[in-house]
Amino acid sequence: MAKTEVILTHNIVGLGGESDQVKVAAGYARNYLFPQGFAIPVSGANKRRIEALKQRRAEREAHEFNTMSELAKGVSKLICVIKVKAGDDGKMFGSVTTGMIADELKHQFDITLDKKKIHLEHPIKALGEHEVELRLHAEVKGTLKVRVESLTPITAPVVEAAPAEVKTEKRGKRVEKTEAEKPTAAKADKAEKPARAPKAEKKAKAE
């Protein structure tokens, strides 16, 4: 495949930045780079444009660095909440991916971030809070807190307080017995009063 040398006039991921002189397939340069204005052929006249392209590149990179530095500070204070399906035991169905995190950042905070800048060593497969590394720039890294929650509330196990209930019943029985004893005492008092009356009558007859 024939190659040709070009000077890039724009930053192209995987190829280079402004002012870089690179070799590409002739058809790629002819059919895409040149018509889109992303590159120019290498020539004496075009080489004189390299200094202007370098200056523009430096300004763009400085702007990107400042923007990503501010973004790193901002996202470090955020908590991105992601709702997932999980069982009653809290076990997730599936996992959280970089694409899901990027979508929620856009939805919750209106932050547009390429999912390639979100670094996960492994997909998140557990509920709770996780710290996710962001590779925003060659010289800028950040951290985002991601809280994974279940769409359905997890039911906590019910702890039975059986011993406490038994004690309460016993106390109630004791109270009932005490109350039951009061009428018996009252009846005994009433029974004693009639017994004294005949004695008084006998004394009156004797006089």
Say what the pLDDT of residue 154 is.
56
**Helix, strand, coil % over all residues of the chain, rounded to 5:** 50, 25, 30
* Contact of 90 with 154, CB cutoff 8 Å: yes
Q: For position 151, what pLDDT does the model report? A: 86
In a domain, 182, yes or no: no
Residue 103: which CATH number? 3.10.430.100
Q: Are residues 17 and 53 in the same domain?
A: yes
pLDDT of residue 39: 94
**What is residue 109's predicted lDDT score, i.e. its pLDDT?**
95
Q: Which of 150, 166, 198 is the last residue of a domain?
A: 150
Predicted pLDDT at 105:
96
Q: In what order do the strands lie in the sheet with 140-150?
A: 79-84, 140-150, 128-137, 118-119
Q: Are residues 58 and 86 in the same domain?
A: no
- Regarding whether 79 and 67 lie in a shared domain, the answer is no
Distance CA 101, CA 200 (A): 102
How many structural domains does the chain have?
A: 2
Which domain covers residue 13, as residue numbers?
3-72
Q: What single-letter DSSP state applies at residue 43? A: -
In the prediction, which pLDDT does 176 show?
Answer: 47
Residue 136 lies in a domain: yes
* 104 and 134 inside one domain: yes
Q: What tens-digit pLDDT sequence spans the chain (207 residues)?
A: 689 999 999 999 889 999 999 999 999 999 999 999 999 999 888 888 898 999 999 999 999 999 999 999 999 999 999 999 988 777 888 899 999 999 999 999 999 999 999 999 888 999 999 999 999 998 999 999 999 999 876 555 555 555 555 554 545 445 444 444 445 444 445 444 554 544 544 444 444
pLDDT at position 204, please?
Answer: 44
Q: Would the pTM of this model clear 0.95, i.e. be above it?
A: no
User: Is residue 196 a part of any domain in this protein?
Assistant: no
* Number of neighbours of residue 175 by Cβ within 10 angstroms: 10
Answer for the pair 142, 67: CB distance below 8 angstroms, yes or no: no
Q: Is residue 199 domain-resident?
A: no
Name the domain boundary from 150, 166, 184. Answer: 150
